[in-house]
Structure 1
Amino acid sequence: MRLLIARCQVDYAGRLTAHLPMATRLILVKADGSVSIHADDRAYKPLNWMSPPCTLTERPAPPVPEPLPDAAAVAEPLTAVWEVRGRDGDTLQISIGEVFSDSSHDLGVDPGLVKDGVEAHLQALLAEHPGSIAPGLTLVRREHPTPVGPVDLLCRDADDAYVIVEIKRRGEIDGVEQLTRYRELLNRDALLAPVRGIFAAQSITRQARTLAEDRGLTCVLVDYDVLRGLDDPGSRLF
């Protein structure tokens, strides 16, 4: 990755045109060929960018013409001009003035985002503590196979009836639809029916909760920190 902090002017031409006047900015050139221009705000979002595949051509700046005697201002001298061309013919021209920092770094192969509390870990914790989902619930099997995919948890309740649990970090309508398909399929098995469903998640959207309740499914919010033993609800003030 190349990081360039410099005064620059940026002109984009393509489906539309855009112009950034001369100012101090950060320019990122990544190994995938992408180029993005950032200001010291807007969080992660760049002011302008070119996504790969694209090509970057760097050439020396043209000489600065002599100013006219009555010119009100002198053009800022440039050190280089970058032209970034996308596959659709779009161009991003970056006119670079004073350079404050120019460095390159090999970041290596990124392993990707590893989230704390992914669904697989949450499923493992709930399999160990099914009673935290509903009192009297006991685990029969994790990843119970069905023709339309595995059910996260197959359990029995206090009345010895079968219960299936679909686990999500964030419960949305797609998860409710998934649980509905599993329940309808398993209820065709005389050895399992009647089967009820529980939709367990760290958070559940209002639309998903409404759909689940309309279909006779139970929604349960689970606290990941409590399951990991990092939080004691009894010690809370509120």
Structure 2
Amino acid sequence: MTERTVLVVDDEFAIRDMLRMALEIAEFRCLEASNIQDAYAITVDERPDIILLDWMLPGGSGLELLRRLKRDDTFREVPVIMLTAKTTEDNVIQGLDVGADDYITKPFAPRELIARIKALLRRTVGGEDNARMEVNGLVLDGESRRVFVGEHAIDMGPTEFKLLQFFMSHPERAYTRGQLLDQVWGANVYVEERTVDVHIRRLRKALQGVEADHSNLIQTVRGTGYRFSSRCI
């Protein structure tokens, strides 16, 4: 298996060192930068597979570097996870709107971050569509395009399947209706945002199931939209 490269951009040595050890244990190659200038130079020279980007950095914010990368055709597709102490919904949405693929709030467990990195890398190599995913006994098989709980197959429409597939690939993260439309329906398809609510209701109904009720995995985030979470509200 080819070793994947992760660029860690954080001005705190202790955090970089902790992440380097966790990444190397998980068999990733780790590059480090403490400011946006060095981070951009390393990105140009090394073309990392994924970037872990701190929000607050010397000489400018991580958001500035993110904007620069997403404007450049060469680096636009490099996935970025924001590392942030900012927890307000406005800050989170700002980062996602600029182009961050995911975010994690400090302090965080290295194992959770590694899991998110692996999930993002599966998406970038085209593995998401065919991946088999399982959460709390709910199994989605991307290859057969079917959803199961135990031996019981759950009947749902193609749009509900795509919604669930997207949610299971991006757990514990809130999405606006507009973001869900772009990701599931496509940026060039025009439908009203309330269409999302209709399909969310259908998906929840399908997940109520026979053997177990998994509808509570699809959570409403007041003032934002929806998220997929195995944690209690």
Q: Would the TM-score normalized by the shorter structure come out above 0.5?
A: no
TM-score (norm 1): 0.29
TM-score (norm 2): 0.30
Which structure: greater strand fraction? Answer: 1
Which structure: greater helix fraction? Answer: 2
